[in-house]
Amino acid sequence: MEKIFKEEHQVTYGDCDETGKIQLPKLIEHFMKVSNDQLTQGGAGIYDLLKQNLGWVVVEYHLDLKRLPEAGEEITVTTNGSGYNRFFEYSDFGIIDSTNKKIVDAKSQWVILDLKNRKITEADSQMMEKFGNPYLKHMPRFKRLRPLKEYDSSQTYAVRYYDLDTNHHLTNSVYFDWMIDTLPREFLNSHTVKSVDISFKKEVQYGDQALSELTLDQNTLISYHLISNQGEVSALAEISWREN
């Protein structure tokens, strides 16, 4: 199969916030779509795995953003598998604009979850070889995130039916939504995301009441995020911002 998989997309107004730039959760959804389309061609997409009671689950993301795509813009969304080891699979994503400049670069770590016992399974080496993904002796490094001792503000969210994915838990784009939603509107309208590090720790499921906490450092322009459920950490993130 082709190593780098690409899809063209026009950014719609429904993808964007009130500044006309793509919402971060929508950006993640585009990554999910291009990834699943590639995997489906190789017989490893969402519905292929569901037949085996398995599901893809993202564990880590690192994103670098030169700028965010805007409403009406034609972009190319890319993905390629960068490797695997015993339990983890690694994929890279990109957004390329109409001038052929890469404006978003992302790296991610994944596992395959047994949907019956909710435990991760070993990587399928035959599947990985089909996509040309090499076995990695050394794991790629992601930023190690730790919760702060305390946060400055918080907001509670109930997990709704449309927040779930086919793994029967909170889909990863909603975590981004809950994190961004805690930031002041004035800040979001005057700043743009520069980089994101996020780590998913524990599932959040239907009916849960999750707490999204925030500390925003106005000096460094870094926001620190924690999503927890009944006192247990579900996700951590650090987002760096730049002024518009």
pLDDT of residue 139: 86
Interval 123-137: pLDDT, tens: 999 999 888 899 998
State how far the Cα of 200 lies from the Cα of 196, in Å rounded to an integer.
13
Most distant CA pair in the chain, distance: 50
Neighbours of 173 (CB within 10 A): 19
Judge whether residue 1 has pLDDT over 60: no
Decide: 54 and 115 in contact? Cβ < 8 Å.
yes
Reported pTM: 0.95
State how far the Cα of 160 lies from the Cα of 174, in Å rounded to an integer.
11
pLDDT of residue 144: 96
**Domains, the chain:** 1-141 (3.10.129.10), 143-244 (3.10.129.10)
Reported confidence tier of residue 7, pLDDT bands at 50, 70, 90: very high
Query: What's the mean pLDDT when you consider all of the chain?
Result: 96
| Sole residue written with tokens 């800040």 | 187
φ and ψ of 128, to 5 deg: -65, -40
The burial class, CB within 10 Å (0-12 / 13-18 / 19+), for 95 is buried
Judge whether residue 31 has pLDDT over 90: yes
Decide: 202 and 232 in contact? Cβ < 8 Å.
yes
pLDDT of residue 136: 94
As a whole number of Å, the end-to-end CA separation of the chain is: 40
Interval 196-244: pLDDT, tens: 999 999 999 999 999 999 999 999 999 999 999 999 999 999 999 999 9
The partner residues of 15 in beta bridges, in order of sequence, read none
- For residue 93, CA distances in Å to 31, 173, 189, 192 come to 7, 15, 26, 19
State how far the Cα of 237 lies from the Cα of 198, in Å rounded to an integer.
4
State how far the Cα of 234 lies from the Cα of 212, in Å rounded to an integer.
10
Q: What is the DSSP string of 129-166?
A: HHTTPPB-SSPPP-------S--SEEEEEEPPGGGB-T
Judge whether residue 2 has pLDDT over 70: no
